[in-house]
Structure 1
Amino acid sequence: MNMESYLPSVILSPYISAFLVIESKDGMENRVMPDTAVMMSFRFGGKVAAGEPGEETGLPATALTGLRRTSRLLHYAPGTGNVLVKFREGGAPAFFKTPLHEFFGTHESLDQLVQRHKIAEVEEKLHEAKNNLQRVAIVEQFLITAISSRQPDLLISNAVQQIKTAAGSVKIKSLAASLYISQDAFEKRFRRSVGATPKQFSAIVRLRHLLDHFPETESLTEAAYEAGYYDQAHFIKDFRAFTGQTPQAFLRQAAWW
């Protein structure tokens, strides 16, 4: 697999953190862990399917992927190439009217969100592009024309940063109170902008933080305690759903990424 990363233009940087171009010359499998970012994908070659062996389902060529709590196994056919757009938390609403929480755990074709002729135009240009710089520029121009006047919700951006700083170990009621907003109103704004409830988002942050520091822990009990779990069985269940492996199997690997 070959992966290249590109920074967005100044116009898009408040909403998008990076463009990624992933190419698989010979085909491959890749287990993707849950992340805090909504992703958009444009395929310019090959095919991609998702699912465990024997249960694969083909994925659309252009799609929006919402946040999710579980990992998924992706199968790339030989000659596959994708341009991925990684949105900042709260950045995607500037491009889509549909509340993002409706995409939680899903991988939806962009045809559901954008007029088909606009998607077809981008797909045609991507197939004609001669290199990845051109492909990223094509997707970037599509996004610039699609952007609305809506700016990121600063209150939600603040909440996201607090959750990340606390490595996901926060009390939602206290967080809402610190932002001078009722818990109900806060949760509605958060899931509409970010694509998950504050609790779901915090759980993703917590487990990703644990994975980043997993080799530093001396035992599963220590890892579970540091992640805020007090029930080891619950920790192992969540860990397995998140990574597709038990903590013991995961720990035996040299690296998870």
Structure 2
Amino acid sequence: MRVRRYLPGVALDDAVEAYTLLEMDKGTAAQPLRMLPPLSISLCLHYGGRVLAGYRSQTDAVGSALTGMHTAPRTYGTDGQVGIVLVTFRAGAVGQFFRLGAHELLHLNVELSDLLPPGEQERIEEALSRAREDGAKVAAVERFLTRLRTEQAADLLARRAAAVIERHGGEVSIARLAAAHHVSERQLERRFTRAVGISPKKFARLARFHRMLGKIGQASSVADLAAACGYYDQSHLIKECREFSGGFSELLPQGELTSLVFAGRAAG
């Protein structure tokens, strides 16, 4: 499996976190992949092969699709030689490209054909199939996103709140965050959930989980890791891991299960 990540151009930098290109031949395609809950919504553009996506107790064949926020790991199986470009949107930005609220996508994979004008999906998939170099693929995706982008203004309150929560690794008082933006907690929760996809409290829990992922291997014990990441104690950390990943032991470096977390800026 080949995985490469690239940053967006200046025109889309405010809305797109990164592009991830994945290519798998028939040999590597037999290995299941696991994607932990990310901090943003993603757009998956397929230009080869077949993908089976499993979430909780359901498994579906998916093509190019918009994937909403989810709070449990997804599993992906592949068939044939697979090619994918994954667009990771910044928190709160998806509404500028698709006429729906992020909360409408919660736990869902929505087929791109249900969201685009006729022929638009085929146009981008064909362009990706023809492109031989990564740069050409990224350029094709950026042209596609530029065509999709609407004049819909982003909810700056929700986006700023999400940025604060991410920057502090989830250790943020939502009440203080609302007060700092001169709105009530209820107003913040409503606007945040519509723009980002989940409530600010759940987003903060996920942000803390991602912070913990980055520190695995640095702490001398699970208790020290819990303290470093703002968990009440070791049992609190393990409980959160069980919800978001299936269990703490599966996240350890020596584990055999592959985990892909599409979050954070990546250099290309």
**TM-score where L is the length of structure 1:** 0.88
Aligned to 2:37: 34
Deviates more, 1:15-24 or 1:4-13: 4-13
Taking the aligned partners of 2:121 and 2:243, their CA distance within structure 1 comes to 33
Q: CA deviation at 1:106?
A: 1.5
Residues 250 and 135 of structure 1, relative CA distance in 2, 3 Å threshold: closer
**CA positional deviation for 1:114:** 1.5
Change (3 A) 1:154 1:168: same
1:192 match: 194
Query: Following the alignment from structure 1 to structure 2, what is the Cα–Cα distance between the partners of residues 252 and 94?
Result: 38
| Matched ranges for 1:113-152 at <5 A | 113-152=115-154
Deviation sequence 1:164-212 (CA, Å, 0-9, x none): 2321022212210111111111111111211211011111101010111
Contact preservation (8 Å) 2:102, 2:194: yes
Using the aligned pairs only, state the percent identity. 32
Instruction: Report the Cα distance in structure 1 between the residues aligned to 2:226 and 2:132, rounded to whole angstroms.
Output: 48
Cα RMSD for the two superposed structures: 2.3
Change (3 A) 1:115 1:170: same
Structure 1: distance between partners of 2:162 and 2:251: 28
Q: What per-residue deviation string (whole Å, max 9, x for no partner) do you get for residues 225-248 of structure 1?
A: 44433365453232023223x324
The answer as to whether partners of 1:45 and 1:127 remain within 8 angstroms in 2 is yes
The DSSP-based 3-state class of the residue aligned with 1:176 is helix
Alignment of 1:67-106 (within 5 A): 67-106=69-108
Change (3 A) 1:83 1:173: same
From the superposition, tell whether residues 82 and 184 of structure 1 become closer, same or farther in structure 2 (CA, over 3 Å). Answer: same
Q: Which has the higher contact order (CA 8 A, sep 6+)?
A: 2
Which whole-Å CA distance do the structure 2 matches of 1:107 and 1:134 have between them?
A: 26
Q: What is the aligned partner in structure 1 of residue 54 from structure 2? A: 51
- 1:10-39 deviation digits (Å, cap 9, x = unpaired): 221111121111000121322111111211
Q: In 1, distance between residues paired with 2:10 and 2:250?
A: 42
What is the identity, as a one-letter code, of the residue corresponding to 1:203? R
Change in CA separation of 1:122 and 1:248 when aligned onto 2, cut-off 3 Å: closer
Q: Give the CA deviation at 1:249.
A: 4.6
Q: Is the 8 A contact 1:15 1:152 kept in 2?
A: no
Could you tell me which residue of structure 1 aligns to residue 213 of structure 2?
A: 211
User: C-alpha distance in 1, partners of 2:41/2:150?
Assistant: 17
* Counterpart Cα distance in 2 of 1:127 and 1:147: 23
CA shift digits 1:214-233 (9 cap, x unpaired): 22223223333444333654
Q: Which secondary structure does the structure 2 equivalent of 1:173 belong to?
A: helix
Q: CA, structure 1 residues 173+132, in 2 after alignment: closer, same or farther (shift >3 Å)?
A: same
Query: In structure 2, the residue corresponding to 1:89 is in which secondary structure?
Result: coil
Write the deviation string for residues 105-147 of structure 1: whole angstroms up to 9, x where unpaired: 2211112222232112222333333333322222221111111
Gaps of 5+ in 2: 261-268
The answer to whether structure 1 residue 159 and structure 2 residue 172 are counterparts is: no
Q: Is the 8 A contact 1:49 1:56 kept in 2?
A: no
Answer yes or no: is the 8 Å Cα contact 2:34–2:259 preserved in 1.
no
Tell me the secondary structure at the aligned position of residue 80 of structure 2: coil
- Equivalent pair of 1:20/1:85 in contact (CA under 8 Å): yes
Q: Which residue of 1 aligns with 2:266?
A: none
Q: TM-score, normalised by structure 2?
A: 0.85
